[in-house]
């Protein structure tokens, strides 16, 4: 038993090493990984590292308001005299939280719906589930998210809910395509003939073949979810002041362009870099696992 366990451990290490070497072949994917790791690190520990942590919350210092970038305030200060760099870093925690929670809910829900429909392709349950999915997909995602958020109290939780409601259909479509193609494979037919139930087939036979595609899509979607959250915040439907939010910072600063350009430019650049990091990481994972973006 010990020899078998050691053999499995050795194979796992070898597989991980090969995957890393394949991932590291693309230098831009490594850059994306570094950006994402830095973003996650700052999301957890940034508040204790920024030069003005008190500026992240409710703080006013009109004597320091509207200062251009300098050695004291590298990204300048806003209308309330708050350090923009500290507020940008302070917004990362909720930005990461939004992306993780939205995907941890929408991906499993969409996956289960898609796999159940794909496995039962041609049956009534397939028609019902996929027509519901098509209804959600027919509505522009941003319009649907804003419509839901507009009837709820504007805060982080409700903006997460709005984005989750419009995000799951994409995973349903992805899982449906994979499950439809796998349902006639010999190992699925064999499992059915041996009396395996649908739950066993979905989670033990189909799931492992969907996992790489779903993980790749989740990594790529993190950037898109962050942009969607920033858009709701920009429209006043997300986090409310004095909480720092990249979208609301851009919305407040755009009124003062181009004179106080730093109000808008630095939060926008932060969003761009975060999204770029997740896209590069997603491409690297896709290449490593041999999947294609759907």
What secondary structure does DSSP assign to 10-64, as a single string? HHHHHHHHHHHHHHHTSHHHHHHHHHHHHHHHHHHHGGGTSS-GGGGSS---GGG
Identify which of 143, 142, 132, 138 has the alpha carbon closest to the alpha carbon of residue 110: 132
* HSE-CB of 215 using CA atoms within 13 angstroms: 15
Cis preceding linkage at 242, omega within 30 = yes
Q: pLDDT tens-digit profile of 195-249?
A: 888 888 888 888 888 888 888 899 989 999 999 999 999 988 988 888 899 999 9
Among left, alpha and beta (phi > 0; psi -120 to 50; other), residue 195 is: left
Q: What share of the chain is helix, strand, coil (3-state, %, to 5)?
A: 75, 0, 25
| pTM, entire model | 0.87
- How far, in Å, are 104, 263, 291 from residue 205 at the CA level? 21, 52, 18
* pLDDT tens for each residue of the chain, 294 residues long: 566 666 767 777 787 888 888 888 888 999 999 999 999 999 999 999 999 999 998 889 888 899 999 999 999 999 999 999 999 999 999 999 999 999 999 999 999 999 999 988 889 999 999 999 999 999 888 888 999 999 999 999 999 999 999 999 999 999 999 888 888 888 888 888 888 888 888 888 888 888 888 888 999 899 999 999 999 999 889 888 888 999 999 998 998 988 899 999 999 999 999 999 999 998 888 888 765 444
Task: Identify whether the C-beta of residue 270 lies closer than 8 Å to the C-beta of residue 88.
Answer: yes
How far apart, in Å, do the first and last CA atoms of the chain sit?
Answer: 42
């Amino acid at each position: 038993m010990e020899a078998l366990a050691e053999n499995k451990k050795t194979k796992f290490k070898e597989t991980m090493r090969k995957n890393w070497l394949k991932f590291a072949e693309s230098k831009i994917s490594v850059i994306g990984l570094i950006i994402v790791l830095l973003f996650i690190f700052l999301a957890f520990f940034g508040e204790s590292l920024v030069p003005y942590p008190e500026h992240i919350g409710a703080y006013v210092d009109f004597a320091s308001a509207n200062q251009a970038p300098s050695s004291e305030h590298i990204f300048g200060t806003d209308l309330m005299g708050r350090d923009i760099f500290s507020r940008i870093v302070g917004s990362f925690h909720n930005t990461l939280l939004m992306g993780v929670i939205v995907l941890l809910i929408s991906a499993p829900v969409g996956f289960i719906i898609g796999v159940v429909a794909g496995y039962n392709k041609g049956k009534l349950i397939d028609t019902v589930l996929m027509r519901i999915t098509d209804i959600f997909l027919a509505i522009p995602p941003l319009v649907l998210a804003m419509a839901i958020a507009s009837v709820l109290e504007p805060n982080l939780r409700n903006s997460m809910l709005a984005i989750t409601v419009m995000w799951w259909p994409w995973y349903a479509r992805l899982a449906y395509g994979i499950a439809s193609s796998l349902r006639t494979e010999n190992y699925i037919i064999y499992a059915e003939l041996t009396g395996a139930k649908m739950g066993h087939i979905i989670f033990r036979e189909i799931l492992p073949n969907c996992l790489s595609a779903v993980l790749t899509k989740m990594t790529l979607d993190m950037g898109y979810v962050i942009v969607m959250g920033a858009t709701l915040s920009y429209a006043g439907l997300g986090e409310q002041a004095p909480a720092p939010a990249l979208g609301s910072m851009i919305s407040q600063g755009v009124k003062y362009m181009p004179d106080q350009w730093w109000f808008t430019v630095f939060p926008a650049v932060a969003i761009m870099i975060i999204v770029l990091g997740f896209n590069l990481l997603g491409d690297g994972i896709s290449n490593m696992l041999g999947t294609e973006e759907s």
